[in-house]
Structure 1
Amino acid sequence: MKIRALTPADLASYRQLRLESILDSPSSFVPTHEEESAVPEEQMAGRLKASPFQVTYGAFQGEVLVGTVGLVRDSRCKIYHRATVVGVYVTPKARANGVAQSMFEAVIAHAKNIPELVQLDLKVNTINPGARALYAKLGFVSCGIDRRALCIDGQFHDEERMALHLDAA
């Protein structure tokens, strides 16, 4: 397995996996499949352009992209010390093999090298105990529950907010 930062050259694989992730785990992502399918290629390729404010890592088994995790940092000064983990997904066939943990370790290592960044935030659906356990194992701590954070087909889903303090990790 190889973990690396994705680039716009990975757009086709990324787009395919992103759409798969929303179909496979709709309660883990805000956009619907239809909404994400409508995102223009240029906009989606922009997500893959590494900058001081964003990076997306991918896990590859051979040449096949089997997982992603992104990091987005806001440029506003009052929250410049924080970044948000987004787009976490591992294909069903690659799960329970350490793929997510390896991607997170790469993202955390990357984040620790970003000046002035001291905290990673994420949200996880409360019906996903495996992800919640992984995040806790990596040092993320619960910061509360957002009740009714998502509404999918008329059913509400709660999300747990979690944070990792990089200066303590």
Structure 2
Amino acid sequence: MPEPHIRHATFDDEEPLGRLDRATWSYLHAVTPPPRQPYEPFFTERTGPRDHLVAELDGLLVGYVRLGFPTLLASNAHVRQIRGLAVAAEARGKGVGRALLRAAVEEARHQGARRISLRVLGHNTAARALYASEGFVVEGVQPEEFFLDGEYVDDVLMGRPL
């Protein structure tokens, strides 16, 4: 099985990332409404290509991870936060999510961060298992923080040192 190729996103990735985001949207991991059709810009003023790593298999973009700061506070600048991770359905089970997660950890280290954190919905057991297998631990739970698709869902805070 070929290894995913991980690289920094470029502005040319805007359209394929938007398609991927719409195709992978689910209340399993999203707290926002579905992306608007037919096209809502993927990159924004707050998050551009510099904040994304993308995964390619056989030359096709099949996943991304968004890395940013948890807050705008200078006292929190040593922390990076995974602010989104998506893998195309046809690429799941091929190591893409794990490769993106590992690349995000390395990028955070490269940026001089001391720790990395993320938030994951309590009912997303596959993502939680992946994060735990890569050294992330549960650091807090906000019970029933979101009401999604007719059910209350916990917000799980996870992190690890770099």
Count of aligned positions: 157
Amino acid across the alignment from 1:77: A
Contact 1:29 1:87 in 2 (8 A): no
Q: How far apart are residue 45 of structure 1 and its match? A: 5.0
Return the match for 1:78 from 62, 75, 79. 75
Q: Measure how far apart 1:38 and its partner are.
A: 8.9
TM-score by length of 2: 0.86
Of 82, 95, 100, 2:97 maps to 100
Equivalent AA in structure 2 for residue 76 of structure 1: L
Segments of 4+ in structure 1 off by > 4 A?
36-40
Q: For residues 81-121 of structure 1, give each alpha carbon's deviation from its aligned partner in whole angstroms, at most 9, with x where no partner exists.
A: 21210211112221111111111111111111112x11111
1:44 corresponding residue in structure 2: 43
1:26 deviates by: 2.0
Q: Which residue number corresponds to residue 21 of structure 2?
A: 18
Aligned-residue identity in percent: 25
What is the RMSD computed on CA atoms of the aligned residues?
A: 2.0
**Equivalence for 1:69:** 65
User: Which residue does the alignment assign to 1:28?
Assistant: 29
User: Aligned-pair distance for 1:62?
Assistant: 2.1
> Are 2:139 and 1:143 equivalent residues in the alignment?
yes
Distance 1:10 1:45 in 2: 13
Partner of 1:130 in structure 2? Answer: 126
Q: Distance in 2 between matches of 1:49 and 1:99?
A: 19
After TM superposition, the score normalised by the length of structure 1 is 0.83
Amino acid at match of 1:70: R
- The runs of 5 or more residues in structure 2 that have no matched partner are none
